[in-house]
Amino acid sequence: MQQLYSYLSGGWMYGQGKAREIHHAITGEPLYQVCSDGLPLAASLNYARETGGKALAQMTFQQRAQMMKAVAKHLLAHKEALYDISYQTGATRNDSWVDIEGGIATLFSYAGLAGRELPDDTLWPEDELIPLSKQAQFAARHVLTSRPGVALHINAFNFPCWGMLEKLAPTWLAGMPAIIKPATATAQLTQAMVKLMIDSGLVPEGALQLVCGGVGDMFDHLDYQDAVTFTGSAQTGQKLRSHPRLLEKSIAFTMEADSLNCCVLGEDVTPDMPEFALFIKEVCREMTSKAGQKCTAIRRIIVPAARIAEVQQALLQRLAGVQIGDPQLEQVRMGALVDQEQRDDVQQKVAFLLQNGCEALCGGALDKLTIAGERAQEGAFYPITLLYCADPFAHQAVHGTEAFGPVATLMPYQSTQQAIELALLGQGSLAGSLITADEALATRFIRATACAHGRMLVLDRHAAAESTGHGSPLPLLVHGGPGRAGGGEELGGLRAVKHYMQRTAIQGSPAMLAAIGREWVRGAKAVEEPVHPFRKYFEQLQIGESLLTARRTITEADIVNFACLSGDHFYAHMDKIGAAESLFGERVAHGYFVVSAAAGLFVDPGVGPVIANYGMENLRFIEPVKIGDTIQVRLTCKKKIRKPQKTAEDRPHGVVVWDVQVFNQHQQAVALYSILTLVARQEGDFPAVDVP
């Protein structure tokens, strides 16, 4: 039988001790032996810190993003090999698509987000200057730096690819190496993906390691700069969270646990409304996708008592059309559970629910199962099981017992207030859904239940066409939840990256803060040169390089002409009597005219290195500009972000962020903002993202 190797300290190795067997979820045949006993697990932590961590720490955020993009492209090019292995875990092609390509898409998403938002540096200034004194010569700002530790990711069996990549993306962006410990039941798929990444040569040595088997005494060797994440059962997570070493060293621990997620049908929905069909479709999809083995799957179906019979009939009819069996057969829509052990656990949980207030409307026992496919008769299949609890307030088991398979419980409510109370009885969920066409009902429900959920979907006919559904975590949205769901957060865009970094408040003079952050701040010294900054290439520009423009006096004709050109005849600009009675006391210039006039003062009109205006940020109008006022502009190079070439034919460039301060004749700021320009680079580069 094959052995599933771990990748530690730069080499593939197998343990010495009692091995655990992985079986084919569809056929039941033995596949691999897994063992990590005797492996240098503690040494792998130091290897990650000293080798992988140092390599990542030397890379800028932009370089890490390009590495991730290259890795994602490489994995995408080899995805079919991963699909073949995913079949062994009992997954259908659609299930595997979510896991494999959904995980790869998360890498792409974070790489793109970093490319747009993060600096071309190893330090991340998180906010603007915070003045701490009257003269603004003592100030502060928060910065984020990479921690010289290692992230130990302990993952669940249900998404062996996505579960790894959605954690790796923010970990690598933060400059931290990772050790992946996949669930043994599906470790063969995680190992195959890790091997692709290692063999690609795109990932710095030590930035990625893999433990197939147990973690041994690794927890005893963790330190305060390290981080641990766990995805799985709440019981196991609580045990790990209370490990003495984690408590002693205050080691960051993030937990995402399975929860009893709910889907609620609004009181307003009737069977003839589109929302009713959407509800039935959503519930059935969540019960059968991945054979119900999803941490976000719908477990509690909360329905108005008056609609129970209609919902029951519609659900049973739709579920009856789902063929279970070998996913290689065209007619099969649901595969197997991950292994016989998991099937036995689901059966035990269902039996417990049936003894505690529930009855089976369909499924509920293995003898009610028909399997398609000759090779699948020994697989870990379980029937789609719809339970009914007539009194969900009297039987708490339905709110505390999760059968992690194609199982959900239908339950009635008498009023929206009761629906809210039932939703909250889950004691914390990753995801909840409300299907309604009533905005007032949705407002009431969400405001009352958001406190107990990490993510909530409000679905109606308008959102349905583009909705990603109840159970789909997205890279830009938080994945996690309070209470039973673990109390942690994953994903959520850049929020997740910050979890692996150290936030520090730095205090000092503006000049010091500018030097530390490599980003000019107001109050720091500016450098003026005779050459207009718009005449300089990206490499030639200095941070803090500044231009003080000529002056311009604002006339009544300016205001009238801008109003005619823009169509903005707001009374504060055009009505002398109305303006006199306003807070301004007289007519004032349009704010956007001030911005336009400022551009006219600082822009160099000739052809040069500046390619285009890329955008504007943080615009604030501080003081009104009145007829007869004179404005002047200070333009200062705030920061530079070098952009890689996508192809050799692209013109090499970078983004320059300019601080713009518009003053009046009294040296009062009238407008403050930043502009972004694309500026040509003198030297190109070949794109690192083009991989075979």
Q: How far apart are CA 91 and CA 186, in angstroms?
A: 11
Question: What phi, psi does 108 have (nearest 5°)?
Answer: -60, -45
Q: How far apart are CA 446 and CA 450, in angstroms?
A: 5
Whether 262 is catalytic is no
Q: How far apart are CA 636 and CA 536, in angstroms?
A: 13
DSSP 376-389: GTTS-----EEEEE
Catalytic residue among 295, 358, 389, 637: 295
Question: Are the C-beta atoms of residues 376 and 25 closer than 8 Å to each other?
Answer: no
Catalytic residue among 35, 166, 212, 256: 256
Tokens of 386: 């719809």
- What count of other Cβ atoms lies within 10 Å of the Cβ of residue 405? 29
Residues with Cβ within 8 Å of 469's Cβ and at least 6 positions away in sequence, in order, are 282, 285, 286, 457
Helix axes 162-173, 187-200, angle to 10 degrees: 40
Whether 101 is catalytic is no
- What count of other Cβ atoms lies within 10 Å of the Cβ of residue 177? 30
Q: Is 273 exposed, middle or buried (0-12, 13-18, 19+ CB in 10 A)?
A: middle
DSSP 50: I
In the chain, the amino acid numbered 125 is: P
Residues with Cβ within 8 Å of 396's Cβ and at least 6 positions away in sequence, in order, are 425
Q: How far apart are CA 433 and CA 467, in angstroms?
A: 12
Q: Label the pairing between strands 208-210 and 358-362.
A: unpaired
Q: Whose structure tokens read 């898409």? A: 105
Q: Where are the alpha helices (DSSP H) in 242-321?
A: 244-249, 274-288, 308-320
CA 555, chain centre distance (Å)? 50
Find residue 433's DSSP bridge partners. 263, 457
In the chain, the amino acid numbered 100 is: I
- Enumerate the active-site residues: 256, 295
